Structure 1
Amino acid sequence: MSRTICFFTGTRAEYGLLRPVMEAIAATPGATLRTLVTGAHLAESTGATWRQIAADGLPIDERVEVLLDGGSDESIATAIGLGVMRYAEALMRLAPNALVILGDRFEAIAAAIAATVCKIPVAHVHGGELTLGAMDEAFRHSITKMSHLHFTSTEAYRQRVIQLGEQPERVFNVGALGVENIRTLKLFDRAEVERRLDLTPGQRYLLITFHPATLASQTPETQLKALLDALDAFPDHVCVFTGANADPGGAGVNRLLAHHTRSQAARFRFSMSLGTTLYLSAARFADVVVGNSSSGIIEVPSLGVPTVDIGSRQEGRVRSDSVIHTDTDSPSVRAAIAEALSDAFRARAAAAVNPYDRTGTTQRIVETLMAWNTHDALHKPFYDMPSAPAN
């Protein structure tokens, strides 16, 4: 059966997860790959990561600008509105049989709305998860209700998607694509990581990503300053930062990180985007992965490396025993990092089981997409749980 499948991507992180599926679709007989590239990919301030897509040899069929300068709440709302209009225009030109969307960002909900209006079936990856400290929580579950096929990363999340009224036969627990990347990508050895990060041989380091928690009462800059204060307690470690995303407050976080790196160049490294391969390679040799990125919860446990998860942004996610949660104040962060660096906790992390780890994730997604009856997909009755009262 021939079909055209379009992949929506707006950030470096979500592209890094979707890339193996995109490559597999491109190599599948009867399948035509299309892409809609938008959001932070197209902004120089967030690394212009569309270049990575091009370097990987994948097509960029539609480039849709929606981001405005500033990253304020108002500009994000405007970007959603622009996205609905411009994504609809792009989807009508592409005319895919299905649109694949991953995650929960504001660009993604705009794409789901546009696809719904254009009557294009949506396949949603990473539904059912909880991120209680971010507005993305509402976006994710809304995308679920506008989607017609679901690929979740754990069985608990599969059950939650069904709880939202989705038909069980349309919801598949396939595991996390990011964990599969660890097994399938050719990761760099330590010497290459040190060369690329400008580290001396054997230098101990922390890998840190700090995104705005969009529902937090404190500003992102306040939380980041507390983290930076806590890092002063570990002078033997270089701190390798990656950039924040394009949420409200992200630009301020990146400015503060850039300034801090310039003033303490011996101990700090800052890159807007390391790319998937270098990021996972750097995580593999880090003493601890610190911050509030989902990667610390989902991928890093499969590397046997401790994670310190800060604040409320990832609150609600299923997590491994290798993850320490901490509040955002400096003493709490300092204590959590110290615990993660201990021999006892490092041994615990090395032995921990990752609940997101399943084999054949990409293959299962591709096979399901290719076998999917997209002609009837738009008609989906609400599924009532067996315990739900009948009307």
Structure 2
Amino acid sequence: MKKIVFVSGTRADFSKIKSLMMKVENSNEFELFIFVTGMHMSKKFGSTYMEIEKCGFKNIYKYINHDKYYQMDKALSSTIDGFSKFIHEIEPDLIVVHGDRVEPLAAAIVGSLNNILVAHIEGGELSGTIDESLRHAISKLAHIHLVNDEIAKKRLIQMGEDEKSIFIIGSPDLELLNNTISLDEAKKYYDIKFKNYAIAIFHPITTEINSLYKQSEEFVNALIKSEKNYIVIYPNNDLGFELILQNYERLKNNERFKIFPSLRFEYFISLLKNANFIIGNSSCIIKEALYLNINGILVGSRQDGRTDINKTIRVNAEEKDILEAILNTSKCT
């Protein structure tokens, strides 16, 4: 029986690979192993490794790759060390990684240097930040490419990848979007009283660290002044996340805001389906939200270069522009 290892470091990548992991787990031809690390292991960000455990997967290996202060270079080094020990123990036939973070990069480095096949999901995309460099580095280390669309495929070919190794599969989490719980159940689970609301997610832009506090301050100012109700989800743990959380402190005693370190994916999708709009700089705005026909407001440069359509409004990370977009979007909902 062939052994396949999936690597998951964040709530976001788990949602992308969960359906594939379930198919492998239920197969008679493969044995599934899951290497869980990164944000999953952080109490501050909701200890989301527990969501993976609740799925009932048999072979879950948990690894803490950083201490209280997350530094990307040290996390990369630590993950390489931990993952190397792991794969030498189980000797997998295939390593599956997703996206553009240091955890999949570490796994791709270990796999390629140990002559183990590496499959990369969602390579060939642009984002205009350090994430883009990491994504392309992972693609160059991978042997199999599972991409979203023809544009990503062409970009990988331009990077020198063999066309025969590239397969268009779409976004693998989309099939989970129809398997969600009811809105009432989601609201009850998270004690959300709002009838009407929007969702806000703002991640760090590591290449803009010097202006990040100001950007997140402008973002929070606009949310408050809009006088709308918001479900706010913590940023990822990239460099600068503390600056965003400092500004979120202003929201904690405001009855119009419910703030969460993380939401279970099925519950999040139920809330997203019924939101008036979603705002911030998460890729969810140009993927899941577009698929569900939910209005999105992209703030700042984090998703520059990625495909979207007219349903998405792009604005600078400035209070006036953000507030204007919120008010205009609200008129259409």
TM-score class normalised by the smaller sequence? over 0.9
Deviation at 1:196, TM superposition (A): 3.2
Structure 1: give runs of 5+ residues left out of the alignment: 347-391
Q: Is 2:254 the partner of 1:260?
A: no
Q: Within 2, Cα distance between the matches of 1:43 and 1:94? A: 25
One-letter amino acid matched to 2:97: I
One-letter amino acid matched to 1:198: D
Select the residue among 215, 229, 232 that pairs with 1:238: 229
For the Cα contact (< 8 Å) 1:216–1:312, is it kept in 2? Answer: no
SS of the aligned residue for 1:315 comes to coil
Deviation at 1:211, TM superposition (A): 0.5
Select the residue among 40, 58, 78 that pairs with 2:74: 78
Where does residue 294 of structure 1 map in the other structure? 283
Larger Cα-atom Rg: 1
Deviation at 1:217, TM superposition (A): 5.4
Where does residue 376 of structure 1 map in the other structure? none
TM value normalised by structure 1: 0.82
Where does residue 215 of structure 1 map in the other structure? 207
TM value normalised by structure 2: 0.96
One-letter amino acid matched to 2:276: D
Q: Within 2, Cα distance between the matches of 1:254 and 1:248? A: 12
Where does residue 45 of structure 2 map in the other structure? 46
Deviation at 1:260, TM superposition (A): 2.4
Select the residue among 300, 313, 319 that pairs with 1:324: 313
- CA deviation vs aligned residue, 1:18-53 (integer Å, no higher than 9, x gap): 111101001111110011111111111111111111
- CA deviation vs aligned residue, 1:80-122 (integer Å, no higher than 9, x gap): 1111122111111121100000000012111111111121110
Instruction: Map 1:1-391; keep pairs closer than 5 Å.
Output: 2-71=1-70, 75-132=71-128, 134-183=129-178, 185=179, 187-200=180-193, 203-216=195-208, 218-235=210-227, 237-257=228-248, 259-264=249-254, 266-343=255-332, 346=333
- CA deviation vs aligned residue, 1:106-154 (integer Å, no higher than 9, x gap): 121111111111211100000000010x211100001001000011011
Pick which of 139-148 and 82-91 moved more.
82-91
Q: Within 2, Cα distance between the matches of 1:62 and 1:198? A: 32
For the Cα contact (< 8 Å) 1:4–1:97, is it kept in 2? Answer: yes
Q: Within 2, Cα distance between the matches of 1:218 and 1:188? A: 41
For the Cα contact (< 8 Å) 1:223–1:329, is it kept in 2? Answer: yes
SS of the aligned residue for 2:236 comes to coil
For the Cα contact (< 8 Å) 1:115–1:121, is it kept in 2? Answer: yes
SS of the aligned residue for 2:95 comes to strand
Q: Within 2, Cα distance between the matches of 1:242 and 1:104? A: 20
Where does residue 362 of structure 1 map in the other structure? none
For the Cα contact (< 8 Å) 2:105–2:137, is it kept in 1? Answer: yes
Deviation at 1:161, TM superposition (A): 1.0
Where does residue 364 of structure 1 map in the other structure? none
One-letter amino acid matched to 2:292: L
- CA deviation vs aligned residue, 1:340-380 (integer Å, no higher than 9, x gap): 2232xx5xxxxxxxxxxxxxxxxxxxxxxxxxxxxxxxxxx
For the Cα contact (< 8 Å) 2:290–2:311, is it kept in 1? Answer: yes
Root-mean-square deviation (Å): 1.5
SS of the aligned residue for 1:53 comes to helix
Deviation at 1:63, TM superposition (A): 1.8
Aligned length: 333
- CA deviation vs aligned residue, 1:261-293 (integer Å, no higher than 9, x gap): 3221x1111111111111111111111100111
Q: Within 2, Cα distance between the matches of 1:251 and 1:119? A: 38
For the Cα contact (< 8 Å) 2:101–2:131, is it kept in 1? Answer: yes
Structure 2: give runs of 5+ residues left out of the alignment: none
Aligned residues: percent identity? 26
Deviation at 1:255, TM superposition (A): 4.4
State the 4+ residue runs in structure 1 displaced beyond 6 angstroms: none
One-letter amino acid matched to 2:142: S
Q: Within 1, Cα distance between the matches of 2:115 and 2:294? A: 44
One-letter amino acid matched to 1:262: K
Q: Within 1, Cα distance between the matches of 2:237 and 2:60? A: 22
Q: Within 1, Cα distance between the matches of 2:209 and 2:85? A: 37
For the Cα contact (< 8 Å) 2:197–2:230, is it kept in 1? Answer: yes
Q: Within 2, Cα distance between the matches of 1:9 and 1:305? A: 27
For the Cα contact (< 8 Å) 1:54–1:60, is it kept in 2? Answer: no
Deviation at 1:171, TM superposition (A): 0.4
Deviation at 1:230, TM superposition (A): 0.8
Q: Within 2, Cα distance between the matches of 1:146 and 1:277? A: 32
Deviation at 1:166, TM superposition (A): 1.0
